[in-house]
Chains A and B, each alone.
Chain A
């Protein structure tokens, strides 16, 4: 999805000279076209994330809208106080882009697993948090954030796939803060953020074969959450299962639970599928780690069957 992001950003750059991209010495094979075609709008600040976030803020306060690009936790956790004090407190127009959401860089080890980012960024004041599930959502999110005023976090998966056409399911396309209905269903609702939505779709197909009709929602915007889609799902279906390549603490699942409780619309059954072991210490690909840590389609299928009893 990073190439889709870069291509869309390039298109935006050509229309708006006040857009900038800061890279933390990463982006090999991804950012070259931007560097070549819009050199004045690009800056590699070196391996210095605290400085990068400060510079982004300084530029933003001078009228630029600044995308900051790095991988995994580097542009958020390494410089979290700069994100909070500099970017958020000043409402600066900084869009933090992390490629390598969840286990995208699985085999590289725990340092490159972004599995607390949604929770942490969701807690940042004024922060919009977006985790697109496919190429389309990535391009749309990039275009929207290029026009968005205020801080935002864009979590990109390494995968490069397109979701099936969902217009027939009633999906009206991409709108920030609005869930996409990828598949209609009346028994159970599966909600997923990021590329792991493909596992949810696969699980829905497996369950359909067993006579369970699953609604699948792409919750590409984790904050602000689509309250209507969540409460509707809690009312209309018998179970809610959230799926995220992320710790179960504080991310999508928590956001959905908070939303339901405060709206006094209690789901009949509810479960958060995600990382429950703290760190993922096994070594392996994204696909392998999803299986190892209970987030693959088969686990979603098992969870739904258990909930429905």
Chain B
């Protein structure tokens, strides 16, 4: 399956899951659909037949509220049956609204509270260095999540220890929970911040598969430095009325006509 086809599956799957389950955060999920598709479709060295294969790449979704995108990717890659996705956010399911690893093959780490992923990724990357392992550690963060101080503690740590097996991807869709990032707590100049902490930084259009594939295919960006990829994205990408009202669609569940309209746009893409 091409990464573009996987992204389409992620969008449609997550729309169905959030709609049936009555869950939020569809706009945040659509924002990372292409990144997650490139990761699971091409970049990550993972094996569905051996989810705990020691040399696998580790992936942590630190913005756990968009975990539905990863659940779909894992199912599409064959880590578990796609039928499990239908239980998402429902009573008795193992697939919680925010990303959980319990009884979910292929998942590394449970998140949901922001600012937890990068420190844990540092620990995993440090362990890989100690063991001279070839695995890499990828952590996907949201832009609003960059408000959390724990990320900047980790941002100091990784370059100090030359963790060039660590990759932080920031989903920079410019909107956080209640308002635009620049109106809430400005992050700019974001690339300069990471660079000044000692990371090798690249910026990319987070919906351009060729660009994502190329950038994530050439890691680390610099030897002996952790890599930071700032992905410029659109919150709600792929559904015009969500792109236009990204804050509303941080919370709202697409039902009825809205669901049908969103699905139609996704299927046409």
Contacts and interface: CB of A to CB of B under 8 A. Distances in A.
Contact of B153 (A48, A58, A63): A48
B128 A55 contact: no
Contacts of B113: 81, 85
Interface in B143-163: 149-150, 153-154, 156-157
Contacts of A45: 157
Most buried by A among B108, B122, B156: B122
Contact of A54 (B101, B116, B149): B116
Contacts of B120: 54-55, 57-58, 61, 86
A58 B116 contact: no
B127 A54 contact: no
Given A55-B119, A58-B124, A86-B120, A48 B157 contact: yes
B220 interface: no
Nearest to B161: A43
A51 B112 CA distance: 17
Contacts of A86: 116, 119-120
Nearest to A50: B150
Contact of A55 (B112, B131, B157): B157
B119 A51 contact: yes
A57 B121 CA distance: 9
Q: Categorize the interface residue count of chain A.
A: 20 to 34
- Consensus secondary structure, chain A interface: helix
Contacts of B128: 62
A40 interface: yes
Interface in A228-278: none
B119 A61 contact: no
B126 A55 contact: yes
A176 interface: no
A82 B119 contact: yes
B109 interface: yes
Contacts of B157: 45-46, 48, 51, 55
A296 to B, nearest CB: 40
Nearest to B108: A61
Interface string A44-68: 0110101111111111111110000
Interface of A: 40, 43, 45-46, 48, 50-64, 81-82, 85-86, 89-90
22 contacts: A43-B126, A46-B153, A46-B157, A48-B157, A50-B149, A51-B156, A54-B122, A54-B150, A55-B120, A56-B123, A57-B119, A58-B119, A58-B125, A58-B127, A59-B127, A61-B108, A62-B124, A63-B127, A81-B116, A82-B116, A85-B111, A85-B116
Given A46-B156, A52-B119, A90-B110, 5 more contacts: A50-B153, A58-B121, A58-B122, A59-B126, A82-B116
